[in-house]
Structure 1
Amino acid sequence: RRGAAMGIKQVGVPIGGMIGAGCGFLAAYYDWHLLMLGVAFIITINGLACLTLVPISTRGRGAGKNIADVMRDGRVNAFAISGGVINMGQANFFGFLTLFLAEVARMGQQTVSFAMAVAQASSAMGRMGWGAVSDKAFGGRRIITMAWMCVAAIGFLAMMPLVDEAWGYVLGFGLALCLGLTIASFAPVAQAIQVEMVSPHLAGSAVGYNMLWTHACATLAPAIFGFAVDNLGGFTAGWLVTAGCVAAGTVILYFLVRTGPKRRTYGAGAE
């Protein structure tokens, strides 16, 4: 039930996003500086609490050798790159949703904050749901589950240019919900896949290496989106370029579907 466990672990991310969306709503009534200080305080308390959760591990040959082993694995590299490129879709979706709805659909601050809350809430449900589904669907081959999620997300991202002032509430909120359930929900499935690609003692290094690509691509994504908006045709170009990035990552994932491992299980005494 690793997928379900990953989904439960990951649900904290969209819950935090919902709190952030609530701050956008409250900014209409309270000083935003005060709200940001409150968020900083919550983050600090959470970070201090996390220091008590995980004991120091002494197993393995050392962090450097473990990471080197992970980086020499071709499939781990391919999956990390594909996951990073796919994550560009999530980064741009959450990064530009409110601005897009405010400028194109002419929604007010409180309305766009509510749309973000809808996206985050659907992501919370999707992360738990897809994680559990990946435990059973397609014989436990989680890569197939993730690939179908990405295909759906490509379609929804390509539909974002259809949002306008007349249909803003219907399409805007509808696509926020659908993208929350797809592009914003793949992380638990991806992390379970990454863990199962390597030996158990390399799981932490593999996830860390995967997250390196995830955040590196998430850093590039807004710049690419902004360039497309400014030079290639406004928000329409931005969303289509984003859909193209997710499609590129899914192509890499497709080859992993054909050649990658099935779900790995470990019996008693297995490594």
Structure 2
Amino acid sequence: MENVTESRLFPWKMLVFLFFIQLVIAFVARSLAPLGAVIGQDLNLTMFQIGLFPAALFLGQSLVSIPSGILTDKIGSRNMLVIISLLLSITFYLIALSSSFLMIFILIIFAGFAYGSSHPSTNKGVNSWFDLKKRGTAMGIKQMGVTMGSASAALLLLPLATSIGWPGALSVAASILLIFGIIFYFKYQEPEKLNTIKKTEIESNPLNIFLHRKLILITISAMLLSGSQAVLNTFIVLYAFESLSLSLILAGILLGIAEFGGAVGRLGWGWLSDNLFSGRRLIVLLIISVLVAVQSIITSLMPVGTPFYLTCIIIFIFGLGASGFNGIWMNATSEIVPSSLSGTATGVSITFSSWGAILFPPLFGIIRDYTGSYFWGWWLIVLLMIISTLALLIAVKSKNKY
């Protein structure tokens, strides 16, 4: 009985390691959002340049996601995640030593290589350890690591940066990742490989993934949701500081609350998709798109003097959707192909969806610089969510994969 219980619990033990490695990777890579204001002040950067920081990260992610997904399918999650931890740590040590915007921009692209590789790697780990009935919840838990890592960066690194400077804060974050990467290498185990009796059509020719109709439509939605998430994470601190007249510390807390909402959403949406919607991930993505549109409208209309507790509630719900969709998206992309290609499918979707985070934060910054207001920037998000909803409706009605 004890051995049976142990075998049932073992996947969840491995999920703990996947969760924490995802958390510390995000803690480092996504520290650029909360620290953007501090770095911008130190280097005298424009809003457009600050908006280029997350764009550079996701540009690197978009360039590496397909090859990293293919490599993950070949060498496994454990080996990939150790390599990722090492490369990301080294890159952020170098960023901490830099004072040139161009050099930092280039290094962030390299950081995006490592960060982008983490998603196919951890997703494959979840898909390998869990069956379809538990995968939504498991993926949601794992994806909570991203938002909790980002929230931790906002809550811990921003105050730390005001005390010891942003280079010191980045060095501390990189050191934490390096230490945990070593722990992960010795503690995490891969599941036993299953023998494939017969290859499906898509396994025989993986290039068919690029013609997968539902994958394309899901990726379009994910690109727009990713852009919304990147805008929220990049500009909520500046918006709260400039438009709502909050202190920089309170504005940083708002980012943490948004990311906490995302963490709750990643778990909650996954649980709902498993238990309430019987694994129908696209319906949940539709609900999320509508929710993000509504919250963006509300955010655009918030006046100066809005009670802080009410602002927190609004931004929490905004984050619940904009930063909470990722787990459902990862489930949707990895479940519509054979498990042996889950890393590749995830990589393909991440590659193209990353362009949302590349394009829309700078565009939001341009709108802010040109109009002198954040109002129309938030309505840009509303437009993106309308398009996302239409793409998902077509995907839901689509019966054929190709």
- Fold similarity call, TM over 0.5: yes
Q: Which residue among 132, 153, 157 is the counterpart of 1:20?
A: 153
Which residue in the other structure is 1:101 paired with? Answer: 240
SS at match of 2:278: helix
Which residue in the other structure is 2:302 paired with? Answer: 163
SS at match of 2:236: helix
The letter for the 1-side match of 2:320 is: L
The CA deviation string for residues 237-266 of structure 1, in whole angstroms up to 9 with x for no partner, is: 11110221122122101111222589xxxx
**Partners in 2 of 1:81 and 1:47 — Cα distance?**
33
For structure 2, the 5+ residue unaligned runs are: 1-133
**Partners in 2 of 1:180 and 1:225 — Cα distance?**
17
**Partners in 1 of 2:337 and 2:383 — Cα distance?**
29
Check if 1:120 corresponds to 2:253. no
Q: Which residue among 285, 292, 306 is the counterpart of 1:153?
A: 292
**Partners in 2 of 1:209 and 1:247 — Cα distance?**
23
Which residue in the other structure is 2:226 paired with? Answer: 87
Q: Which residue among 235, 241, 261 is the counterpart of 2:374?
A: 235
| More helix per residue | 2
TM-score (norm: length of structure 1): 0.86
Alpha carbons 1:157, 1:179 under 8 Å: kept? yes
Q: Which residue among 163, 167, 170 is the counterpart of 1:29?
A: 163
Aligned ranges 1:167-178 → 2 under 5 Å:
167=306, 169-178=308-317
SS at match of 2:374: helix
- Provide closer, same or farther for how the CA distance between residues 66 and 229 of structure 1 changes in structure 2, counting only shifts above 3 A: farther
The letter for the 1-side match of 2:382 is: A
The CA deviation string for residues 207-232 of structure 1, in whole angstroms up to 9 with x for no partner, is: 11111122222111111111221235
Q: Which residue among 183, 188, 192 is the counterpart of 2:322?
A: 183
- Provide closer, same or farther for how the CA distance between residues 65 and 34 of structure 1 changes in structure 2, counting only shifts above 3 A: farther
The letter for the 2-side match of 1:106 is: S
Q: CA deviation at 1:43?
A: 3.1
- Provide closer, same or farther for how the CA distance between residues 78 and 37 of structure 1 changes in structure 2, counting only shifts above 3 A: same
- Provide closer, same or farther for how the CA distance between residues 140 and 247 of structure 1 changes in structure 2, counting only shifts above 3 A: same
**Partners in 1 of 2:243 and 2:399 — Cα distance?**
42
Alpha carbons 1:105, 1:168 under 8 Å: kept? no
Relative contact order: is structure 1 or structure 2 higher (C-alpha 8 Å, sep ≥ 6)? 1
- Provide closer, same or farther for how the CA distance between residues 24 and 260 of structure 1 changes in structure 2, counting only shifts above 3 A: farther
The CA deviation string for residues 112-154 of structure 1, in whole angstroms up to 9 with x for no partner, is: 1111121122221211111111112233311101111110111
Alpha carbons 2:213, 2:400 under 8 Å: kept? no
The CA deviation string for residues 54-108 of structure 1, in whole angstroms up to 9 with x for no partner, is: 76989889xx976412112122122112211221111101111000000011111
SS at match of 1:82: helix
For these two proteins, the number of residue pairs brought into alignment is 261
- Provide closer, same or farther for how the CA distance between residues 66 and 3 of structure 1 changes in structure 2, counting only shifts above 3 A: farther
**Partners in 2 of 1:201 and 1:15 — Cα distance?**
29
The CA deviation string for residues 8-66 of structure 1, in whole angstroms up to 9 with x for no partner, is: 111111121122112113333333321121012223334555566476989889xx976
- Provide closer, same or farther for how the CA distance between residues 24 and 147 of structure 1 changes in structure 2, counting only shifts above 3 A: same
Q: Which residue among 144, 168, 171 is the counterpart of 2:283?
A: 144
Which residue in the other structure is 2:143 paired with? Answer: 10
Alpha carbons 1:86, 1:246 under 8 Å: kept? yes
For structure 1, the 5+ residue unaligned runs are: 263-271
Which residue in the other structure is 2:176 paired with? Answer: 42
**Partners in 2 of 1:54 and 1:238 — Cα distance?**
45
- Provide closer, same or farther for how the CA distance between residues 232 and 48 of structure 1 changes in structure 2, counting only shifts above 3 A: farther
Percent of residue pairs bearing the same amino acid type: 25
- Provide closer, same or farther for how the CA distance between residues 29 and 144 of structure 1 changes in structure 2, counting only shifts above 3 A: same
SS at match of 1:234: coil
SS at match of 2:375: helix
22-31 vs 196-205, greater mean Cα deviation = 22-31
**Partners in 1 of 2:299 and 2:336 — Cα distance?**
34
- Provide closer, same or farther for how the CA distance between residues 194 and 54 of structure 1 changes in structure 2, counting only shifts above 3 A: farther
Alpha carbons 1:66, 1:205 under 8 Å: kept? no
Which residue in the other structure is 2:209 paired with? Answer: 70
RMSD, aligned CA: 2.7
SS at match of 1:185: coil
Which residue in the other structure is 2:35 paired with? Answer: none
TM-score (norm: length of structure 2): 0.60
